Amino acid sequence: MRDLDRAFQNWWGRPDHFKRPTWRKAEINEGFAIRDLSVKRLNRKWGEVLVPKCGWVKFRVSRKWLDIENSTSARVTKDRSGRWFVSFTAPASQMDRVSTGSSIGIDMGISSTVTLSNGEQMQMPELLTKGQLQRKRRLQRKLARQSKGSNRRKATKLAIAKLSAREVDRRKDWIEKTTTKLTHDYDTIVIEDLKIKNMTKSAKGTIANPGKNVAAKSGLNRSILEQGWGIFRKRLNDKATNAQVPVKVTSINPAYTSQRCSVCGNTMRKNRKSQAVFSCQSCGHIDNADVNAAKNIIAAGLAVTGRRGILQAKSVSTKQSNPMKRQPLIPA
């Protein structure tokens, strides 16, 4: 009842940030909270937490023990692949960094996940091996043929969930490492204000007005979502705000950044020869298309920083939700 009251108070107080509380659904966000927390350390790698009506349960220590020991509550969760986690409430530690005075522009893409304005390209590694990807597809086809509610269908869903969990873990690991490096190396980071939800809308249309190239658009949508652009931007903002020396993150309007020449400013559709080649029809400048876009992004970001009233870019600051007794969870 206390959690329910808190959820409604947060929703009524900040409807722009908090959504309406929803009912629990089986196998979705499974978990429970531990209020009166008791923990003890077994050795360097393992600890125990007292779970009501279950007794002492071992967990792997993956954070500083001092933060775990000083926590006031915890939450035990289970993901769809059957893995159990315990998360302890503790203030997030600040990132140690010194001011570098450097600025960078970031272009998000598919062939190259992250392209920097200095020409560096960062590619997300393969989330699943070729064999794992084939197995996942076979299991998905098998799932479509099985009866709902059957034990064999549950086993197939669990096998798919285990493969998906590996995919998610590898994506998050790469994003965490990449955003940490960028936040550590640069004082100003300029990114595109991408509307990912609109970009990944289905193109199938309706029966009366069917869409075109539906299969191609579906493939593009999957590729965009696999890159994790949304969580990349969120973690970048979180780390930039929480650093000891704050990092300024500016988002700009992405319109024409891939078609504008970074040298002369000419904007023509024909400038983009292909996915990878940019060739200006006015001055003849030739560059990698993603690198050219990243240069336009950093130029627009620095322009809005130096002069006010430019509509091409806008600075985005993280809003503080300030919910009642809300603290970040640190998984252990």
Q: Please name which of 270, 252, 251, 247 lies closest in space to residue 260, comparing C-alpha atoms.
A: 270
DSSP string computed for 215-226:
HHHHHHHHHHHH
State yes or no: is 69 an active-site residue.
no
Q: How many whole angstroms from its chain centre is CA 300?
A: 24
The Cβ of residue 57 has, within 10 Å, a number of other Cβ atoms equal to 13
- Helices 214-227 and 229-242: crossing angle in degrees, nearest 10, is 20
Q: Which of 192, 193, 226, 238 is catalytic?
A: 192
In the sheet with 121-122, reading across from the earlier edge strand, the strands are 121-122, 114-116, 103-108, 188-192, 248-252, 313-315
State yes or no: is 290 an active-site residue.
yes
Amino acid code (one letter) for 325: K
State yes or no: is 287 an active-site residue.
no
Amino acid code (one letter) for 57: V
Q: Which of 3, 5, 187, 290 is catalytic?
A: 290
Q: Are 291 and 109 in contact (CB under 8 A)?
A: no
Q: Which residues contact 104 (CB under 8 A, 6 or more apart)?
A: 116, 117, 118, 182, 185, 186, 188, 189, 190, 298
Q: Which of 3, 48, 79, 107 is catalytic?
A: 107
Phi-psi region at 82: left, alpha or beta (left = phi > 0; alpha = psi -120 to 50) = left
Residue 22 corresponds to which tokens in the numbers above?
Answer: 């929803």
Positions marked active-site: 107, 192, 290
